[in-house]
C-alpha cells in the first residue's frame, strides 16, 4: 500500500519526489519540441531551486498523491465487493453461525494464531446472543505460518462433517480460546473433544475441498485488499482489525438505518 510516511522518510524520498515533479514539468515542453541537454538542465535547475525554496510544494504534492492512491484503492475494493458478493456472503465454504436467515451478515476473516482474533471471539459470541437476526460467517484465512495453515485445514475438515455448524462452533471456540500455538496436533485434539468423527476427518483432510476452501478465502482477501486478521466485511464496507463489540454493533445499527456500514 502506498505510504506517505515512506516518501517523507530520508533525503532519497524527497529527491525522488522532486525528480518526479521535475519530470512532469519537463514532459509538457518535450511534447511540443525536443529540448537540448543545456535547456533541460537549466529547467531542472530552476525547478530544483524552486522546490528548495518552497518545500511545502512537495508536501502538498505528496499529500495529493496519497489522496489519489487511497481513492483508487477504495474504488478497487468497492468494485471487488460488488463483483464477489455471492462468494463473500453466500459461499458454502464459509461457516455460518448465528441466524442463517438473518437480515444482516458479518463476514470475518480470521487466523487461529491471531491474538486479536482470540479477543474478537467474545465479540462475535456476544453479538450473536444480542442480535437474533444476525448472520455471522467465518472464513479461514491462515496467514500466520505453517501452524495456522495446519489448524485451518483441520477446521475445514470439521466443517465438512457438520451440517448445522454446532460442532464446528464448539471446535472454533475451543481452539481459538486456547493458549499456545494452534497447529495440526492441537487442532486434532480439539476436534476430538468437540465430538468429530476422527476417521472421517482424517479422510477429509486429504480431499481437494480443503485446499479449495483456503484458496477461495485467499483470493477473496487479495481482491478485497485484506492482509491481516481479523478483518470484517459488513454490507458495503471492509473493516480491518478487532474493533470490539460496540464498534461492530454500531456498524450493524448503521446498516439497518441507512443500508451502509457508515451512514
- Give the CATH number, domain containing residue 169: 3.40.30.10
pLDDT of residue 31: 52
What mean pLDDT is predicted for residues 23-27? Answer: 49
pLDDT of residue 79: 85
Is 226 within the bounds of a domain?
yes
Containing structural domain, residue 191: 86-258
Structure-model confidence comparison of residues 68 and 10, the more confident one: 68
pLDDT band at 62 (very low <50, low <70, confident <90, very high): confident
Instruction: State whether 69 and 113 are in the same domain.
Output: no
**pLDDT exceeds cutoff 90 at 16:** no
HSE-CB at 115 with a 13 A cutoff on CA atoms is 1
Burial class (CB in 10 A: 0-12, 13-18, 19+), 125: middle
pLDDT digits 0-9 by tens, 113-167: 999 999 999 999 999 999 999 999 999 999 999 999 999 999 999 999 988 888 9
Dist. CA 182–CA 86, nearest whole Å:
30
Final residue in a domain of this structure, among 42, 60, 77: 77
Domain count for the chain: 2
Dist. CA 241–CA 221, nearest whole Å:
14
**pLDDT exceeds cutoff 60 at 244:** yes
pLDDT band at 214 (very low <50, low <70, confident <90, very high): very high
Instruction: State whether 136 and 254 are in the same domain.
Output: yes
Q: pTM above the 0.75 mark?
A: no
Using DSSP, state whether 181 is helix, strand or coil: coil
Share of the chain above pLDDT 90, in %: 63
Within its chain, how far is the Cα of 202 from the centroid?
30
**pLDDT exceeds cutoff 90 at 199:** yes
Q: What are phi and psi of 138, to 5 degrees?
A: -105, 130
**pLDDT exceeds cutoff 70 at 5:** no
Burial class (CB in 10 A: 0-12, 13-18, 19+), 139: buried
pLDDT of residue 77: 78
Amino acid at each position: 500500500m502506498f505510504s506517505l510516511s515512506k516518501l517523507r522518510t530520508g533525503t532519497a524520498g524527497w529527491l525522488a519526489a522532486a525528480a518526479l515533479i521535475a519530470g512532469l514539468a519537463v514532459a509538457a515542453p518535450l511534447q511540443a519540441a525536443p529540448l537540448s541537454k543545456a535547456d533541460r538542465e537549466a529547467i531542472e535547475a530552476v525547478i530544483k531551486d524552486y522546490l528548495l525554496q518552497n518545500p511545502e510544494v512537495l508536501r502538498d504534492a505528496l499529500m495529493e498523491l496519497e489522496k489519489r492512491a487511497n481513492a483508487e484503492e477504495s474504488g478497487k475494493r468497492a468494485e471487488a465487493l460488488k463483483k464477489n458478493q455471492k462468494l463473500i456472503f453466500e459461499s458454502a465454504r464459509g461457516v455460518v453461525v448465528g441466524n442463517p436467515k438473518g437480515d444482516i451478515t458479518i463476514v470475518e476473516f480470521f487466523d487461529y494464531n491471531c491474538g486479536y482474533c482470540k479477543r474478537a471471539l467474545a465479540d462475535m459470541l456476544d453479538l450473536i446472543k444480542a442480535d437474533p437476526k444476525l448472520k455471522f460467517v467465518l472464513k479461514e484465512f491462515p496467514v500466520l505460518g505453517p501452524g495456522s495453515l495446519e489448524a485451518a485445514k483441520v477446521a475445514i475438515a470439521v466443517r465438512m462433517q457438520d451440517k448445522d455448524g454446532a460442532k464446528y462452533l464448539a471446535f472454533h471456540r475451543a481452539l481459538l480460546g486456547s493458549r499456545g500455538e494452534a497447529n495440526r496436533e492441537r487442532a486434532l485434539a480439539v476436534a476430538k473433544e468437540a465430538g468429530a468423527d476422527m476417521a472421517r476427518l482424517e479422510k477429509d483432510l486429504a480431499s481437494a475441498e480443503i485446499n479449495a476452501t483456503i484458496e477461495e478465502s485467499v483470493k477473496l482477501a487479495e481482491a478485497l485488499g485484506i492482509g491481516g486478521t481479523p478483518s470484517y466485511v459488513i454490507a458495503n464496507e471492509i473493516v480491518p482489525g478487532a474493533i470490539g463489540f460496540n464498534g461492530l454493533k454500531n456498524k450493524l445499527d448503521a446498516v439497518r438505518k441507512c443500508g451502509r456500514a457508515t451512514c
